[in-house]
Every structure is written in structure tokens, then in C-alpha cells.
């Protein structure tokens, strides 16, 4: 590995410049719906990787491939890729019907004046179980609009509540790609990250619920929408959640969810065996871009590290952030800046992982706490982005139903990320860490 070299960071700048400029043009100039997500992120990373390859002087092309191969072949990257695939298969097996059953069951046993509070709980539970905030928002936003129509609560409030709950669950879920990326990037167990992360997000979630309750408690409402549901369909979600909490190996946890989900959907006649296999394939295929990004980022980071880019970045951060608490804030800001650049919290975590690991090691911050800070701050910044997937999907879903809403209407009613920021800062600067890294 070469000495500190700021120029080695140019490929990251190339990626940021291309991604942001194309996204802005697509979204705001060409008026393409969800323009940022029409930017081919895999292609942009390939261009950045090519720049890094050309920058790596003094070694043969075979040596460059060897350096990239060592980065991709890291145990944590291989583990991450396999978990991504299994998580995709699980979601492909259980489908959307299971999540809808959870939502409509909870709404059927709740007084209408508490409908918005229940929306937050439903979104949190489903996102924790499914491991995807975008999928949860896609699924629950139509329910939120129906509740708004039937109860009188405003659409921005109902939709903002769904987005907040979805981000809470995604941040905490054992099968979320952000959790997988953060834990494997820092080399910590998911149960350890869950326990550490819970002390950050649970107070924020409780405070959010209290705020929503205070805003909606005295409202005049009518009965909310009701639909049929099947409680047996929630069993795979519950099993995955229980296995994750008690610390069962993540591969075993996902296999339990896949097997139980397969048995239920086949025995209930919801799908045929060929349709089940098709769902598995579609679920795994849905993880293609995330997996390719992880591979390309690993190769890119290996070259940047070899060329001295990470050492230069670490030297710069050390001059600004000193001490265990300030380094945690520095890690949070690092992943936040990556998220602003990419509008994708998983990509941001994958890019920040190796740098964060080096920073944490210097001041003896535990891998679980580092993973928690990475995942939490990526969630916070993602909630502030009007061009983030979560907000864009919510706007698109509401528009499809015939209503007009803007990203900023949702952000004004998106209480959770703002409260989570306060909780995270308290966690970093007020609550001491009980056990240092070995």
C-alpha cells in the first residue's frame, strides 16, 4: 500500500459528479419520474473503477486484477452477497399478501382515532420483517391513503408516518441490506448490532409515536378502511423476527423464513410450485444491482486503499475529529455525505465501511457500535433527501392514486429521522460505551 495520496480519491469524485449531475438532469430538467433511479449506478461505478485502474501506476494489469480480487474475495463481502440473495428469495416467497394481512389485522382492532399511530407501528413491523423500506412504502402507502380518505387525517401526515416507520424497520431489520452491509463491513454479529442499535432507535421511535399521538388524539375521525386478512400469512415474518432477536445465525434465520413461507403459500393454495420457484428467482434477481454495487465498490476501495487514498482521507479526518466521540460523529457525517451523493443508503454504507473500520480501530470503538452509527446516520440522511428512493416512491404511489403531493409535503410530516438525529447525538456524546473493542 502506498503512502497518503489525495489524488487516489478522484474516482469517488468522478462517481459523485456523474451520478449527481445525471440524476439532477433526469429528475428536474427532463422531468423523468424518479430520475435519480434511472441513472445506471452499476455503469457509473464501472467508470469510476476504470479511472482508478488507470491511476494505479507502476504495476501490471495482472497485479491490478489481483488487488481487486483480494478486495472482492474478502470473507465479509462473500457473506454479504450470499445474505443479499437469501433475503431476496425470502421476500420473493412470502410476497405482499403477508404484509397486507399484518396491516389490515392491526387496523381492524384499533380505534379510528389511533389510526395514524397504528400506521407507524405497522410500517415499522413490516419493514423490520421484510428488510426493505422502499418495499414497505410501496405496500402500505395505498393503505395510508385509504385511511386518510376514510378518517379525515391528511394524506401528507399518513404517508409521512408510513415513510418514518419504514425507515425505522429497515434500520433495525436483520435482513435489511443496510444492516447486512454494515455488520459484514465491520465484522460484527447482527444480534450485537441489533442490541446496540436498539438503544438509539427505540427512544426515537417512542418519541415519534408520542408526537403523532399528541397531534392526532383529539381529531374528529370516522371509521377507517377495512379489508379481509389471513393471520397465517404473518407466521414467516414472526419467525424471522424471533430468530433474529434471539441470535440465530442469519443464514439459518433466512432459511427458516423461506421454508416456512414456502410451506404456507403452497399448502394454502396461494401459489403453485412453479409460481413459488418463479417468485424465488424474481426475489434473488431483485438483489442483482445491490450485489453488483457491493462487488464493484469492494474492487474500487481495494485500489483506492492501495494507492493511498484511504490513508489521505483518514489523515484529514484525524485532524478534524479526535477522540472516540468525535470520531463516531465523523463516521456518521462520512456515511451521510456518501448518502447525499448516491441517494442510496446501502451504497453509502458499502463505500464508507473500510474507512469507518480504520477510524474506529484507531480509537477502539467496537464494531457493533460502528455498524450502528453507519446504519443509523445513513437512515437519517436518507430521510432528508427529496430525491431519495423512499420519498420518490411515496410521491409516486400517491400520485398513482389520483392525488397531488410533493416530496416536501412528506418531509414536513416525516418526524422520525429528525428525532433519530437527536437520539443519535445523545447516544454518541452522552451515553458511554460499556465495553471497548478487543
Is the pLDDT at 436 greater than 70, yes or no? no
Q: What is the pLDDT of residue 191?
A: 83
In a domain, residue 387? The reply is yes
Distance, in Å, from the CA atom of 338 to the CA atom of 360, rounded to the nearest integer, reads: 18
Among 347, 140, 336, 129, smallest CA distance to 244 is for 129
With respect to residue 436, please indicate whether it lies within any of the assigned structural domains.
no
Alpha carbon of 270 to those of 173, 231, 233: distances in Å?
26, 14, 10
**Is residue 438's pLDDT more than 50?**
no
Q: What is the pLDDT of residue 423?
A: 92
pLDDT tens, residue by residue, 84-111: 788 778 878 876 666 566 667 766 777 7
- The whole-angstrom separation of Cα 161 and Cα 304 is 40
CA separation (Å) from 194 to 46, 102, 170, 352?
Answer: 33, 23, 12, 20
| Confidence band for 437, pLDDT divided at 50, 70 and 90 | very low
231 to 89, 109, 162, 225, 268: CA distances (angstroms): 21, 13, 21, 18, 12
Number of domains present in the structure of the chain? 1
Arithmetic mean of pLDDT over the chain: 81
In a domain, 166, yes or no: yes
State residue 217's pLDDT score.
Answer: 78
Share of the chain above pLDDT 90, in %: 13
Q: Is residue 435 part of a domain?
A: no
Residue 57, domain member (yes or no)? yes
Banded model confidence at residue 421, pLDDT cuts 50, 70, 90: very high
Question: Is it the case that residue 26 has pLDDT exceeding 90?
Answer: no
* Angle made by CA atoms 30, 31, 36, in degrees to the nearest 5: 90
User: Per-residue pLDDT for 47 more than 90?
Assistant: yes
- 1 occurs within a structural domain: no
CA dihedral 150, 155, 158, 162 (to 10 degrees): 120
Rg (CA), the chain: 22
User: What pLDDT, on the 0 to 100 scale, is given for residue 206?
Assistant: 94
Q: Which of 80, 184, 96 is nearest to 132 (CA)?
A: 96
DSSP category for residue 387: T
3 state SS of 175: coil
Domain presence at residue 438: no
Q: In terms of residue numbers, what domain contains 55?
A: 6-429
Give a yes or no: residue 434 inside a domain.
Answer: no
CA–CA separation, 159 and 145 (whole Å):
7
Per-residue pLDDT at 234: 75
pTM tops 0.85: no
pLDDT at residue 283 tops 50? yes
Report d(CA 273, CA 250) in Å as an integer: 25
Amino acid at each position: 500500500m502506498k503512502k497518503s495520496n489525495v489524488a487516489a480519491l478522484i474516482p469517488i469524485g468522478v462517481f459523485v459528479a456523474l451520478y449527481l449531475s445525471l440524476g439532477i438532469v433526469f429528475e428536474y430538467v427532463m422531468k423523468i419520474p424518479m430520475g435519480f433511479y434511472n441513472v445506471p449506478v452499476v455503469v457509473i461505478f464501472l467508470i469510476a473503477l476504470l479511472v482508478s485502474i488507470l491511476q494505479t501506476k507502476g504495476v501490471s494489469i495482472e497485479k491490478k486484477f489481483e488487488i481487486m480480487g483480494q478486495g472482492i474475495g474478502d470473507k465479509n463481502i462473500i457473506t454479504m452477497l450470499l445474505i443479499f440473495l437469501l433475503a431476496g428469495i425470502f421476500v420473493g416467497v412470502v410476497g405482499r399478501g403477508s404484509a397486507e394481512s399484518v396491516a389490515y389485522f392491526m387496523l381492524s382492532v384499533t380505534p379510528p382515532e389511533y389510526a395514524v399511530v397504528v400506521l407507524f407501528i405497522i410500517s415499522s413491523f413490516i419493514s423490520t420483517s421484510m428488510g426493505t423500506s422502499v418495499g414497505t412504502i410501496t405496500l402500505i402507502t395505498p393503505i395510508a391513503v385509504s385511511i386518510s380518505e376514510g378518517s379525515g387525517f391528511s394524506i401528507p401526515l399518513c404517508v409521512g408516518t408510513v415513510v418514518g416507520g419504514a425507515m425505522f424497520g429497515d434500520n433495525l431489520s436483520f435482513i435489511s441490506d443496510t444492516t447486512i452491509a454494515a455488520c459484514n463491513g465491520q465484522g460484527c454479529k447482527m444480534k450485537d448490532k441489533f442490541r446496540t442499535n436498539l438503544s438509539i432507535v427505540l427512544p426515537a421511535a417512542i418519541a415519534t409515536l408520542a408526537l403523532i399521538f399528541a397531534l392526532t388524539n383529539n381529531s374528529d375521525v370516522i371509521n377507517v378502511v377495512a379489508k379481509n386478512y389471513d393471520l397465517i400469512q404473518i407466521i414467516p415474518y414472526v419467525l424471522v423476527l424471533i430468530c433474529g432477536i434471539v441470535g440465530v445465525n442469519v443464514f439459518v434465520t433466512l432459511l427458516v423464513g423461506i421454508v416456512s413461507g414456502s410451506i404456507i403459500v403452497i399448502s394454502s393454495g396461494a401459489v403453485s410450485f412453479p409460481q413459488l420457484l418463479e417468485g424465488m428467482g424474481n426475489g434473488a434477481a431483485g438483489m442483482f444491482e445491490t450485489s453488483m454495487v457491493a462487488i464493484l465498490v469492494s474492487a474500487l476501495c481495494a485500489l483506492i486503499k492501495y494507492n493511498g487514498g484511504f490513508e489521505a482521507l483518514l489523515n484529514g479526518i484525524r485532524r478534524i475529529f479526535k477522540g472516540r466521540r468525535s470520531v463516531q460523529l465523523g463516521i456518521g457525517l462520512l456515511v451521510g455525505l456518501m448518502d447525499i451523493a448516491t441517494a442510496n443508503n446501502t451504497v453509502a454504507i458499502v463505500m464508507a465501511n473500510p474507512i469507518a473500520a480504520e477510524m474506529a480501530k484507531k480509537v477502539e470503538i467496537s464494531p457493533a457500535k460502528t455498524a450502528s452509527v453507519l446504519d443509523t446516520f445513513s437512515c437519517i440522511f436518507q430521510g432528508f433527501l427529496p430525491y431519495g428512493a423512499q420519498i420518490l416512491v411515496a410521491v409516486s404511489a400517491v400520485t398513482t392514486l389520483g392525488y397531488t403531493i410533493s416530496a416536501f409535503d412528506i418531509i414536513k410530516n416525516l418526524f422520525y429521522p429528525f428525532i433519530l438525529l437527536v437520539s443519535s447525538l445523545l447516544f454518541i456524546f452522552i451515553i458511554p460505551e460499556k465495553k471497548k473493542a478487543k
